[in-house]
Homo-oligomer: A and B are copies of this chain.
Amino acid sequence: MYNKILVVNPNSNTENTRWIDEAIQPLRSQDGPEIECRTLADGPIAIENEIQGAQVVPSLCRLIEQESEYTGAFVVACYSDPGVLAARDVTDKPVIGICEAGLSTALNFGDRVGVLHNGVEDIIPAMRGARALGLDSRVVGGRSIDVPMARMDEQGLVLEQMTKAAHQLEDELHASVLVFGCAAMTPFRRSLEKECGLPVIDPAQAAVGMAITAVRCFSQN
């Protein structure tokens, strides 16, 4: 009997939650832990800067505290890992952030990790995040796909821009594995991998994968 995994989308955009839910679908199994993706109802519509990231922390922590008894592990599904450290103060269950999980998983698939961002303004915060995680000697940098969230449904454009950024990461920074720096990129994982020839890690998949391992192993031996 496995515990549930609760994946929290800390913004209030239910379409994002649906993307995440689809991304992690292959990780569900009949006899495995239930995996629920939930939208943080009072989160902002998007988390695009530090202040928005900070705003979600109190209600995120409240949710995690409330669900702690019935949940085996939590995943916070926003690439800036908002509230992950704070949440660990309110539960003794694992709380996994998709950024740390994505980067630390990527290490196992290539020596030099490059990150794909939506906009150029995401690069500095992401490099600071990698340094805070102590992973800056392997996370070599980021490149922007320069596609606004509103146009992420134009598949041809997105894939073209992603491929361009992927080649920059490989040619300029010698990246050998890529990580998506945004939950909305998931649908392009397989196509991008084919285009650029490098392994591409979806951080939500990486985080949920770790949560499953934790729930399965910690509850049994």
Contact = CB atoms under 8 A, between A and B. Distances in A.
A29 B29 contact: yes
A173 to B, nearest CB: 10
Chain A residues touching B, majority SS: helix
Interface in A193-221: 199, 202, 205-206, 208-210, 212-214, 216-217, 219-221
Interface stretch (A7-15, A125-133, A150-158, A161-169): A125-133
Given A138-B134, A174-B124, A86 B212 contact: no
B221 A23 contact: yes
A159 interface: no
A132 B137 contact: no
A108 B211 CA distance: 10
A213 B134 CA distance: 24
A116 interface: no
A198 B213 CA distance: 17
A190 B100 CA distance: 25
Contact size range, A: 35 or more
Interface in A62-96: 83, 85-90, 94, 96
Which A-B residue pairs are the 8 nearest by beta carbons? A209-B213, A132-B132, A54-B57, A134-B137, A104-B104, A29-B29, A50-B86, A26-B220
Interface of A: 22-23, 25-27, 29-32, 49-51, 53-55, 57-58, 61, 83, 85-90, 94, 96-97, 100-101, 104-105, 107-109, 111-112, 123-125, 127-128, 131-138, 174, 176, 186-187, 189-190, 199, 202, 205-206, 208-210, 212-214, 216-217, 219-221
